Structure 1
Amino acid sequence: MAAVAVALFCIQLDFFALNLAVPGIAAEFAVTVSAAQWTLSAYMLALGCFFIVGGRVGDVFGRRGSLLAGTALFAAGSVGCALAPGLGLLVAARVVQGVGAAFVFPVSVSVITNTFSGESRARALGAVFGVANIGTAFGPFVGGGFTEGPGWRWIFWLMAPLSLLSLVAAFLFVPDSRDTSAPRELDLPGCALTVCALAALTVAVERGDAWGWGSARTVGCFALALSAGVLFLVRERRARHPLVDLRLLRNIPYVLVTGMGSLSNMGYAVTVFLATLYLQGVRGLSPLVAGTVFLAPALMVAVSGPLGARLGGHMRPTAVMALAGVVAGSGMYALAGVGVWWLYVVVFAWCGLGLGLGWTFSGVATQQVVAPARAGEASGVLLTFLVTLGAIALAGTAAAISAMTPQRPPEDVYDLILRLGGTVIVVASAVVMAVRHRLVVLGRVPPLSMRADGGTTGEPGRRP
């Protein structure tokens, strides 16, 4: 558990720290901020493309080896980033980091799922995500502090020894496990198609605003993503041992949890992005002071890991996700109307609690509604949706700001987007509970009361 927690801590800290370092990277390499933004985009591209592959490789070939390989790649990429003499090599090293993280994330979750059992599994997952979310909490503060102090390269120098520590702990203590029902074969055509589809979609979303949404390059990338996606679905239906068993999408509790988790992550990405623009652009705060303000919501995100595990012992996974949506959506809506400084920090923290609980607990909840043998696959699919839809939400937000700011003050645009996002998440929570109630009536899932089946936390999604 310690090995997994440290690895996820590094990944979370790295990502959230680098957001505030982009201007410093642009200044050192004498490039535009838009070009330096590729240090984030390339990482997200690699991360989103290899989540499903990483999760299934762990299930098929062994989770311990996949965890070790992913951690080693992330550590090597961190050193490469710290030593990069130019933007091109920095972006290449970020891709290596992203591929390593794409193996670590889903395999970490499945390692815990297959090592612990019963209620201890939920507690272990909650503790792991709690430690990982401490990285989320301190990421902006570390990024702002290093950027203004010794320099952004120290973000990566910090990652190297921590990743090495995780690697040694995993090598010594993590037991191996795999899906014994699956042969040691990987659906390589499926891997190629999913990577192609996700890469084309991510590039289109990331660069659409710069290229123009109607430009030939953007439309071509969307067309390639659609074509590869359709071919992937056809391949998975016919493959003897598919990369993704499409029957997973018939598991309605899994679909509900994944949907709410994706919305929560989209809301988190948009809220953090808008808050960064507001604090630095409207309030005029420095990166370090803005990072300090982010500590309040980020600490609530850290708390959401253990909190979700505790709630999961008393409530069904879908109910926890719906509750998180209500807290998150109401917080986003309220944040749009706050003008008093101290109250802004309090409401921002409330947002962090709800949004963090939503996207953090989704990782725990999916493990409660699927069979442990396919835990890596289920986690990989979830994480792919989280990252891809989060990127789409950010791109849509940036496009909306560009379109509306000539007619309205920036802060009014930020408030409008927050209100819209909060309303969507609250409505989605109501839909989740309505669908769940209908499934209870049909006898397909247990009642909301945990006493109805002796206090088990899972939904009946474990059944084939």
Structure 2
Amino acid sequence: MLPKRAESPSAARTGAFVAVAVALFCIQIDFFALNLAIPGIADELDVSVAAAQWTLSAYMLAVGCFFIVGGRLGDVFGRRGVLLVGLALFAAGSVGCALSPGLAWLVAARIVQGVGAGFVFPVSVAVVSNAFPDETRARALGSVFGIASIGTALGPFVGGGFTEGPGWRWIFWMLAPLTALSLLIALAYVPDSRDPSAPRQLDLTGCLAVVVALAALTLAVERGSAWGWDHARTLGLFAVTLVSGGLFLLRERTARHPLIDLRLFRNIPYVLVTGMGTISNMGYGVTVFVATLYLQGVRGLSPLTAGIVFLAPALLVAVSGPLGGLLSPRVRPTAVMAMAGAVAGTGMIALTFVTAWWLYVPVFAWCGLGLGLGWTFASVATQQVVSPARAGEASGVLLTFLVTMGAIALAGAAAAITAMTPERPPEDAYDAILRFGGAVILAASVVVMGVRHRLVVRGRVPPLSMHAPWPPVDDGAREGRP
């Protein structure tokens, strides 16, 4: 018998924290474990590796399409209900993956998982934001993402270990009961919250337009290298993306109750945080992808051994969540993001100049710290520069950018490696990509601080010091909330 829903604010906060932390931990393990399991899936299901890649593509497709919808559903109809539905879908999808008799079943179950994750992630951030007071909110979010990042750390290790041991299905058998535990805790303890100014209406036309646009873009990017970037299917999907995206923007400008209030993008700190977080996540995905190829293709490591090497940077990613929570009350959000970019960019470039294990692993870890701080703190920072009432919407938009642009970066990296390897050794191609990515992140950090300085001079955002006097004015571009 389930305990009654908690009435104590302290118990509600604790329950919300635990439920969300366990849920995001499961999602992160799921995402990072399956990459190393693809060869094992292909062998067991008797399909090609290219066909088995659909288990990743289908998941990315579903996740990317439902971040915005899930976040707004929570704001309008209540975050608790959307969180419960998302957890139930993710748990059911995990069981379906574990029991799948063939590739089609597995891909379908992965889509169910992806929809669940698309609901869970944005409302989880909003649940914690609304459960904790201003003075402890950033620390709670940082700790949540720290725990989630432990899943990132363990993902490659779990994926490689299960694939070489009892089999890839045990990845999902592990996730199913953990997700069910999160569901039970959320059912018992998570309080409900929503945007009190939003009527209980959803812009269904906007939902359809954005889902079609994101689905077409994600599918084009994920399969473009296999089909050919000039193939009719790829070009057709890009055309659908442009048309649906244009219709979505037109709809949001005229809808009475839009899915996304486009005035959100007038909030300059939010735009800077979202942009820097997106670039950091692109760098994270590319670095993990390139390092995987390097460790297994050049160094000749097994999936399990490569997963062990990944523990060093992944553990620093886990540390980045609590670190962001500690920095939050002391440094402005955009400054933290720029600092993360500086660490990440130098780490990516330095990684190309070292080969000795005694130096490669700590530099890889340094790189993981910067990249991890960049993409994890972005979710914390957005909650500091927007109203808690619209936390789900802001989080959904951020996560959509993170996932969609991350997929584009991976596709670009894969295409660049394919283009360069006939003329040079693979490791040279890997180095060129990491140096380019590191330079982009460093340049983005400079731009963020430059724009921020200009806004400070114009009196639109406060100085870097959290203790500097600042008039109580909120003109839509203010950074940090009282």
Shorter chain as normaliser: what TM range? Answer: over 0.9
- The answer to whether the Cα contact below 8 Å between 2:72 and 2:393 also exists between their aligned partners in 1 is yes
1:117 aligned to 2:133? yes
Read off the aligned partner of 2:478 and give its amino acid letter: P
State the match for 1:192 in structure 2.
208
State the match for 2:250 in structure 1.
234
Read off the aligned partner of 1:311 and give its amino acid letter: L
State the match for 1:322 in structure 2.
338
Alignment partners' CA distance in 2, 1:313 and 1:426: 24
Read off the aligned partner of 2:186 and give its amino acid letter: A
The Cα shift of 1:433 comes to: 0.2
Read off the aligned partner of 1:200 and give its amino acid letter: A
Q: Secondary structure at the match of 1:60?
A: helix
The Cα shift of 1:453 comes to: 3.6
Matches within 5 A, 1:73-222: 73-222=89-238
**Deviation above 6 Å: which 4+ runs of structure 1?**
none
Match among 428, 439, 455 for residue 412 of structure 1: 428
- The answer to whether the Cα contact below 8 Å between 2:66 and 2:211 also exists between their aligned partners in 1 is yes
Read off the aligned partner of 1:367 and give its amino acid letter: Q
Alignment partners' CA distance in 1, 2:444 and 2:32: 27
State the match for 1:374 in structure 2.
390
Read off the aligned partner of 2:143 and give its amino acid letter: A
Q: Secondary structure at the match of 1:394?
A: helix
1:460 aligned to 2:482? no
The Cα shift of 1:426 comes to: 0.4
Match among 236, 252, 259 for residue 275 of structure 2: 259
Alignment partners' CA distance in 2, 1:34 and 1:321: 36
Q: CA RMSD in A?
A: 1.3
1:306 aligned to 2:327? no
The Cα shift of 1:455 comes to: 13
Q: Deviations over 1:172-215 (max 9, x none)?
A: 00000000101100000000000000000011111111111111
Change (3 A) 1:163 1:177: same
| TM-score normalised by length of structure 2 | 0.95
State the match for 1:277 in structure 2.
293
Matches within 5 A, 1:368-407: 368-407=384-423
1:448 aligned to 2:464? yes
Alignment partners' CA distance in 1, 2:33 and 2:242: 33
State the match for 1:48 in structure 2.
64
Read off the aligned partner of 2:162 and give its amino acid letter: F
- The answer to whether the Cα contact below 8 Å between 2:462 and 2:470 also exists between their aligned partners in 1 is no
Alignment partners' CA distance in 1, 2:158 and 2:469: 46
State the match for 2:5 in structure 1.
none
Alignment partners' CA distance in 2, 1:420 and 1:455: 41
- The answer to whether the Cα contact below 8 Å between 2:19 and 2:183 also exists between their aligned partners in 1 is yes
Read off the aligned partner of 1:217 and give its amino acid letter: R
- The answer to whether the Cα contact below 8 Å between 2:332 and 2:480 also exists between their aligned partners in 1 is no
Alignment partners' CA distance in 1, 2:168 and 2:392: 33
Q: Deviations over 1:98-132 (max 9, x none)?
A: 00000000000000111111120001101110110
Read off the aligned partner of 1:290 and give its amino acid letter: A
| TM-score normalised by length of structure 1 | 0.98
Q: Secondary structure at the match of 1:284?
A: coil
Alignment partners' CA distance in 1, 2:480 and 2:284: 29
Match among 281, 284, 302 for residue 268 of structure 1: 284
- The answer to whether the Cα contact below 8 Å between 1:77 and 1:97 also exists between their aligned partners in 2 is yes
Read off the aligned partner of 2:331 and give its amino acid letter: M
Alignment partners' CA distance in 1, 2:227 and 2:255: 37
State the match for 2:376 in structure 1.
360
1:339 aligned to 2:360? no
Alignment partners' CA distance in 2, 1:462 and 1:438: 17
- The answer to whether the Cα contact below 8 Å between 2:28 and 2:151 also exists between their aligned partners in 1 is yes
- The answer to whether the Cα contact below 8 Å between 1:39 and 1:91 also exists between their aligned partners in 2 is yes
Q: Secondary structure at the match of 1:450?
A: coil
Alignment partners' CA distance in 2, 1:339 and 1:3: 41
Match among 251, 261, 268 for residue 245 of structure 1: 261
Moved more, 407-416 or 208-217: 208-217
Alignment partners' CA distance in 2, 1:433 and 1:306: 23
Q: How many correspondences in the alignment?
A: 462
The Cα shift of 1:351 comes to: 0.6
Q: Deviations over 1:332-354 (max 9, x none)?
A: 00001111122111110001000
- The answer to whether the Cα contact below 8 Å between 1:371 and 1:462 also exists between their aligned partners in 2 is no
The Cα shift of 1:306 comes to: 0.2
The Cα shift of 1:454 comes to: 7.9
State the match for 1:36 in structure 2.
52
Alignment partners' CA distance in 2, 1:339 and 1:20: 23
- The answer to whether the Cα contact below 8 Å between 1:7 and 1:166 also exists between their aligned partners in 2 is yes
Change (3 A) 1:27 1:225: same
Taking only the aligned residue pairs, the percentage that are identical comes to 76
Q: Secondary structure at the match of 2:468?
A: helix
Q: Deviations over 1:231-278 (max 9, x none)?
A: 000000000000000000111000000000000000000000000000
- The answer to whether the Cα contact below 8 Å between 1:324 and 1:357 also exists between their aligned partners in 2 is yes
- The answer to whether the Cα contact below 8 Å between 2:344 and 2:370 also exists between their aligned partners in 1 is yes
- The answer to whether the Cα contact below 8 Å between 1:142 and 1:155 also exists between their aligned partners in 2 is yes
Read off the aligned partner of 1:443 and give its amino acid letter: G
Alignment partners' CA distance in 1, 2:430 and 2:260: 38
State the match for 1:22 in structure 2.
38
Q: Secondary structure at the match of 1:451?
A: coil
